[in-house]
Amino acid sequence: MNNIFDTHAHYSSRQFDADRAELLTALPAGGVVGVLECATHSGDAAQVLELAHAAPYFHAALGIHPESLIEEDAATVAVYHGDWRAELAAMRPLFADKAVAAVGEIGLDHHWPVPRQEQYDLFEAQLQLAKELDLPVSVHDREAHAEMYELLRKYKPRGALHCYSGSADDAAWLVEQGMYLGFGGAVTYKGAKRAARVLAAIPHDRALLETDCPYMAPEPMRGTRNDSRNIVHVAAYIGTLWDMDAQAVLDRTAANARACFGV
């Protein structure tokens, strides 16, 4: 298999510290042609850019994740003491780097006890930044559909909803508005019927493949550290819904990724 484009990854995670260099050399041999490496706060932005500069198939997304508002080891707390406005201002010059393809990972998360108004304001500010910089977004939406869709309708960003978990009805207006929807290992799990309905309903040119690695490895790799090569299992599953072979799914979604992020 080849032409694997992973539209949401975290290779800057500590889980890759032991063998990151070897893995990034191995990925192209495993068919990987593109990776969007996503920062979650200013503390990992430098490493995200370093990866994008070191590996020509890597592209960077810079942003502040909502969970960074409560994570003690995130720069949002450890350095800026919760002042995300100061952090975002400090990050602003980094977006001039040609390796930056998107504003991300940004969004809303109501699964964890993140203050709702603070994360809403943070997300809105980053949507405004993306519009100002004319960059796509990589969006995190966990159990926050109502507020998420309110802001997406208001700002109409281009980009991707990573690990899409909404309904087929919402997928219809989201793709009509111009968004792409990301799908990863979770679609291969038993019980992922909603994702199957969405994938069967949306235009093939609006679907993206992703890992969210090191998390969410697909079946049959579930429970292991994920990496971009495992996308072949996701493509094989989606092929059963689209009546296509896995390589055709990879080719279609790689073209979608390049169109979405302009790379």
pLDDT-above-90 percentage for the chain? 100
Strands 100-109 and 207-209: unpaired
Average pLDDT over residues 140-154: 97
- In order of 57, 128, 212, the CA distances from 226 in angstroms are 18, 32, 8
User: CA 149 from chain center: how many Å?
Assistant: 17
**Amino acid 202: pLDDT:** 97
pLDDT at position 121 is 98
Q: How far, in Å, are 73, 116, 172, 219 from residue 138 at the CA level?
A: 22, 20, 18, 24
Contact 227, 240 (CB under 8 A): no
* Residue 191 reports pLDDT greater than 90: no
Predicted confidence (pLDDT) per residue in 153-174, tens digit: 999 999 999 999 999 999 999 9
pLDDT, tens digit, 9 for 90 and up, residues 86-102: 999 999 999 999 999 99
Q: Which residues contact 152 (CB under 8 A, 6 or more apart)?
A: 139, 174, 177, 179
Q: What is the tens place of the pLDDT at every residue in 199-251?
A: 999 999 999 999 999 999 999 999 999 999 999 999 999 999 999 999 999 99
What is the predicted pLDDT for the residue at 262?
Answer: 97
Tokens of 2: 């080849």
Q: Give tens-digit pLDDT for 41-50.
A: 999 999 999 9
